[in-house]
Chains A and B, each alone.
Chain A
Amino acid sequence: MMTATTSSMQAVATERRRSRSIRWSVIVRSAVVTLVTAFLAFLFLLPFFNMVFTSLKTTAQMMQPGAPVWPAIPGVFEYEGKELELYLVPLEDGSVRELAIVRKGRQQSTFIDPDHPEAGEIEWSGSWRALQRPWQLHPAWGNYREAWEKIDFPILFRNTLAIALIGLTGTVISSTLVAYGFARFRFPGRGFLFTLLLSTIFLPAAVTIVPTYAFFVAIGWVGTWLPLTVPHFFSNAYNVFLLRQYMLTIPREIDEAAQMDGANPFRILISILLPQCAPVVLAVALFHLVFAWNDYFGPLLYLSTRFDLQPIAVALPRFNNLYGSNPPLIQAASLMAMALPVLLFFLAQRVFMQGVVITGVEK
């Protein structure tokens, strides 16, 4: 009896110890996996830090070997209305101190201690030219204004937004209509046509580009926004697929009831289906906006001579060719080019990522 109790107590204790060790191993595992992932995310996003830091540097810092990675200028100390340069001065006692130079001399210079200027001047023997300078944090915000003006950002932003919004209107309207047709109506050849629609995703764009370009040249559309916007009024396979999948999940009973009441299909689409499709319509709109902001080849083909109509994706490489020697300006302009789509993504990330998943997985 006694022994049995002891052994069962021992069993419970071992069990407890084991479960505790399992719990610990779970915690350690999860800490390791999370830390590794965080490190990878840090590496992946490192270029962003580089971009932000570089965009805030002065060109002087870019050319200075040994300058820090963060935006900084060589330290100065303001004393009695004058800017004195700071230096790292090795003193006789072996310590190195940040001192401000008052008088520069070939063999001997005069410094003051910025922490205690009242303590008076310090004479130091040696060549000041050999001394290192400390760096002070100094973001050059002016780079953004300079890039903004030099790249003519307001015009570029207007062009990009206008091209994006016209195409967005076109793709939202046409893709909704086509999706509605495929989701709610039976007609001969529906399955075949839907397969044809999806297969256009796999068609290489190169095979249509030469005659399409020649056609737009022939009808005088090159040098206008029309080739970049009008084709979007004829729907797009990804968007139709996404909208149709969503419409299929909406019960038909309501549209059938409305049909009984004599509503025509347009009315049913606008007043019954569309309000329920709002999240997918939003996703389609965002996809198009991101597409238009990213599109480089289209505007390059059709707007290469019209700098005044170009969107930012085409203007940015041109800007880079002009100011390649000024990385802070290039990085500031790059940040401006990505600002709006990234901002919109963060505002609507759930809708956006769900849309990607549906078009990517279900096909």
Chain B
Amino acid sequence: MAVISKAAPHPGPRTRTGGSRALARREAMWGYLFISPFIVGLLAFTLIPTVATFVMSFTNFNLSGAATQFVGGSNYQRLFRDPQVWSSLLVTVRFAAIALPVGLILPLGLAILLNSDSLRAKGLFRTLFYFPYIVPFVAAIFVWGALLNSETGWINQFLRWVGVANPPNWLNSTVWIYPALVILGLWGIGNAMLIFLASLQGVPTELYDAAKIDGAGWWGQMFNVTLPMISPVIFYNLTLSLIGLFQYFTVPLVLNQGTGAPGGATMFYNLYLYKTFFTYQNMAYGATMAWLLFVIILAVTLALFQTAKYWVYYAAESR
């Protein structure tokens, strides 16, 4: 705690009398007291474990009870030679390449539709599109999985009905499994949609009036007013989706019991990480894998923040 109070000097632009300085100290004491659960939690569940992950990656630590020794960079040597690491990273990137645009464009498109002046019963539709988000994803997997069944599922029955002779074997094809996983996650778009919708409603109407006077049509208003105005929210959703997608694995874990079926196509990086530390109880190698993932996510996030100045418009900056 002492470190924290040293980190920032006492704010005191005004000259204080002795009494008010004592009051300020009392106020600060209460403040630290109230936020202490956060400080303790931050240390116990975030900072110390993060450092521990890093330290562990240089040891041979496991849960068997054998003495832990420092092994230098040998975990990292193994990591870079492990073909499973690179194939699972590729699987993760391949899936993210489909899921990321869908996970942004679909909720945004839906929000634009729900924000339309021409739409009646807006509140009802907003609720209908949002509430599947509440459904536990495990239940959603079984509900959508039934729809994706290649023989009896409604999706393939519909495709056959419209004349597709050989509709995809969604869950058992190494190619179609990725769109299938995106479909399994469709009920999760409600949150992003709601946030987009609220940000659309926050765009000042004067801006649209001005754009109309300048002769902007629907698309002109969309690209010159709407999208720039909501770009901070797009950026926020993009960043969180990207971080989430790099760690994606619970859906394939439930779907195929973590076997990576079909043919290793669902052996995501985080699934391999989970199997390493949990199934095989190899803590040190798990920590090494976790650290690599952290570095990748950090690099991608920082790169994303670098691009922000070119396309994210912060109206609040002028305040």
Contact = CB atoms under 8 A, between A and B. Distances in A.
B101 interface: no
B146 A327 contact: yes
Contact of A213 (B39, B134, B278): B278
A186 B113 contact: no
A345 B202 CA distance: 25
Contacts of B139: 316, 334-335, 337-338
B135 interface: yes
A297 B146 CA distance: 23
A32 B117 CA distance: 12
B79 interface: no
Contacts of A207: 49-50, 53, 290-291, 293-294
Interface in A336-352: 337-338, 341-342, 345-346, 349
B63 interface: yes
A187 B31 contact: yes
A218 to B, nearest CB: 8
Interface in B300-318: 301
Interface in A307-356: 312-313, 316-317, 320-321, 327, 330-331, 334-335, 337-338, 341-342, 345-346, 349, 353, 356
Contacts of A209: 49, 277, 290
B119 A180 contact: no
A140 interface: no
B186 interface: yes
B300 to A, nearest CB: 11
Given A265-B30, A360-B236, A346 B131 contact: yes
Given A178-B37, A210-B277, A346-B131, A186 B24 contact: yes
B5 A178 contact: no
The 4 closest A-B pairs by CB, nearest first: A234-B41, A181-B34, A185-B31, A360-B195
A11 interface: no
A220 B53 CA distance: 20
Contact of A46 (B137, B147, B247): B147
Interface string B115-131: 01011110001111111
B251 to A, nearest CB: 10
B31 A181 contact: yes
A12 interface: no
A356 B146 CA distance: 30
Instruction: Classify the interface of chain B: helix, strand, loop or mixed.
Output: helix
Interface of A: 26, 29-30, 32-34, 36-38, 40-41, 44-48, 50-51, 54, 62, 69, 174, 177-178, 180-182, 184-193, 196-197, 200-215, 217, 231, 233-235, 240, 265, 290, 293-294, 296-297, 300-301, 312-313, 316-317, 320-321, 327, 330-331, 334-335, 337-338, 341-342, 345-346, 349, 353, 356-357, 360-361, 363
A331 B146 contact: yes
Contacts of A191: 8
B125 A297 contact: no
Given A206-B270, A214-B61, A296-B138, A334 B143 contact: yes
Contacts of B152: 62
Given A189-B5, A363-B236, A338 B136 contact: yes
Contacts of B37: 174, 177-178, 233-235
Interface centre among A36, A184, A186, A209, by most B CB within 10 Å? A209
B146 A338 contact: no
Given A231-B45, A234-B37, 7 more contacts: A44-B128, A47-B147, A50-B143, A177-B37, A212-B49, A300-B253, A363-B236
Contacts of B5: 187-189
Contacts of B147: 46-47, 50
Contacts of A361: 195, 198-199, 202, 233
Interface string B15-52: 00000000010011111111101111110111011101
30 contacts: A30-B118, A34-B121, A46-B147, A62-B152, A178-B38, A181-B31, A181-B35, A181-B38, A182-B34, A182-B35, A186-B11, A187-B27, A188-B11, A188-B28, A202-B301, A204-B297, A205-B247, A206-B273, A206-B290, A207-B294, A234-B42, A235-B37, A294-B137, A296-B250, A317-B138, A337-B139, A338-B136, A346-B127, A356-B194, A360-B233
